[in-house]
Amino acid sequence: MSAALEVALAYHDAWTSHDFERAMTYVADDIVCEAPAGRLEGAEAYRSFMGPFVQILKGSQLIAAFGDDDKAIVMYDTETVPVASAPGAECVTVKNGKIVYSRFVFDRAPFLQAA
């Protein structure tokens, strides 16, 4: 398995198992994340974005995951408290075993509708 994919899947396994603190061990302190709502800089900003999502997570299913030495893409479906099916895709860049950059794609529309 590619080095980046290994980290991406370890991170994915952790947060989808509700072990968010373990997931954060794969996130670099200076992570930059381009998310639907805008650019997040640093692990604390990332934690504030992803932590609440993990709290409403009821289940997940991996759709596909691929990668090479530096980059990986993971696509998955999630079931959350407000939205029954909320798929997402993350393209991560990994350096020294940590995610330093993440491009995050998901549909905010059903969450906005539910809110």
Binding of a second copy by 114 (CB under 8 A): no
- Tokens coding 68: 């090479």
Residue type (1 letter), 56: I
3-state secondary structure of 85: coil
Phi, psi of 89 (to 5 degrees): -140, 135
Binding of a second copy by 40 (CB under 8 A): no
Pairing between β-strand 71-80 and β-strand 57-67 as defined by DSSP bridges: antiparallel
Binding of a second copy by 79 (CB under 8 A): no
Q: How far is the CB of 59 from a second copy (least distance, A)?
A: 17
Nearer CB in complex with a second copy: 4/14: 4
Give the footprint of a second copy on this chain (CB under 8 A). Answer: 34, 36, 63-64, 66-68, 71-73, 75, 87-89, 91, 103, 105-109, 112
